[in-house]
């Protein structure tokens, strides 16, 4: 039995979101506009070969996030908490979502964001995200 069958829809959405950010998938999707729809169907239908793929993909995504976080910490002097917030924003998350998931007050997260803005010489979230995606 495939353990992706019946997967929580929010988890499927999170996985799809991660995959969409992959440069490999973005290149694939440009050449195959139906790719995302087909991938979502495979995930939702519990395609057996996806288990190993997603395990590898998530491990790679975590390693990539860690490397990016280390680079941001060195380049901009971000703290661990600031790096985690920056990664969440780059992944398309909101301040509210990050606060809820990390168990922090929104005011604390807002203060962290202001510190990131100062350290990166940015003033808006979109500007920050564009800088960090480079």
Cβ contact 91:21 at 8 Å: yes
CATH of 69-134, one of 1.20.90, 3.30.70, 1.10.10, 3.90.1750: 1.10.10
The pLDDT tens digits for 39-92 are: 666 666 665 566 666 666 666 666 666 788 889 999 999 999 999 899 888 878
Inform me whether the pLDDT recorded for 28 exceeds 60. Answer: no
Instruction: Provide the pLDDT for residue 101.
Output: 83
**For the residues of the chain, what is the DSSP string, one character each?**
--TTTT--HHHHHHHHHHHHH-HHHHHHHHH-TTHHHHHHHHHHHT-TTHHHHHHHHHHHHHHHHHHHHHHHHHHH---HHHHHHHHHHHTT--HHHHHHHHT--HHHHHHHHHHHHHHHT--SHHHHHHHHH-
Domain ranges for the chain, please list them.
1-48, 69-134
Whole-model pTM: value is 0.58
């Amino acid at each position: 039995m495939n353990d992706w069958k019946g997967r929580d829809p929010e988890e499927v959405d999170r996985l799809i979101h991660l995959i969409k950010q992959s440069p490999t998938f973005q290149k694939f999707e440009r050449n195959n506009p139906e790719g995302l729809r087909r991938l979502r169907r495979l995930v939702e239908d519990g395609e057996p070969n996806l288990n190993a793929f997603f395990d590898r993909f998530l491990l790679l995504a975590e390693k990539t996030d860690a490397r990016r976080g280390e680079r941001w910490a060195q380049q901009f002097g971000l703290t661990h908490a600031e790096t985690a917030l920056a990664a969440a924003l780059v992944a398309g998350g909101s301040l509210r979502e990050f606060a809820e998931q990390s168990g922090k007050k929104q005011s604390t997260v807002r203060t962290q964001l202001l510190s990131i803005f100062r350290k990166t010489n940015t003033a808006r979230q979109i500007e920050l995200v564009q800088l960090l995606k480079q």
